[in-house]
Amino acid sequence: RCFPIPPPPPPQPAPVYLDPCVPSPCGPYSQCRDIGGSPSCSCLPEYTGTPPNCRPECLISAECASNLACMREKCRDPCPGSCGAGAQCNVINHTPVCTCP
């Protein structure tokens, strides 16, 4: 008796990689890394908090000490460049105040 040889099985498709970071579950100002197939979230450098609640150091000057002002999302001394040559600068309630000696 003669039996036909069965055709080979079809090739198995390659497993599809699903990136757990796309879309990112981490929220704004954060980064996501794939750690063993699970997302690992951390705040970007220069940002504070815990994902998904990462935020800049400040958004308004009231979030800074009274002798600092919120400049480009950081608490900084507002005096440099605020007063003319020879003037003295003091910060009062986040605002540079220039006086002449």
Domain ranges, ordered by start, for the chain: 30-99
pLDDT at 1: 67
Q: Percentage of the chain surpassing pLDDT 90?
A: 76
Residue identified by tokens 């039996």 is: 3
Whole-angstrom distance, CA of residue 28 vs CA of residue 50? 11
pLDDT at 59: 95
Bridge-based pairing state of the strands 95-99 and 55-56: unpaired
pLDDT at 10: 86
pLDDT at 4: 84
> Strands, E, within 1-94: which ranges?
30-35, 38-43, 47-48, 55-56, 69-71, 74-76, 88-92
pLDDT at 81: 92
CB neighbours of 13 closer than 8 A, spacing ≥ 6? none
Extract the residue ranges of the chain whose pLDDT is less than 70. Answer: 1
Using left for φ > 0, alpha for ψ between -120 and 50, and beta otherwise, residue 61 falls in alpha
In the chain, how many H helices and how many E strands?
Answer: 0, 8
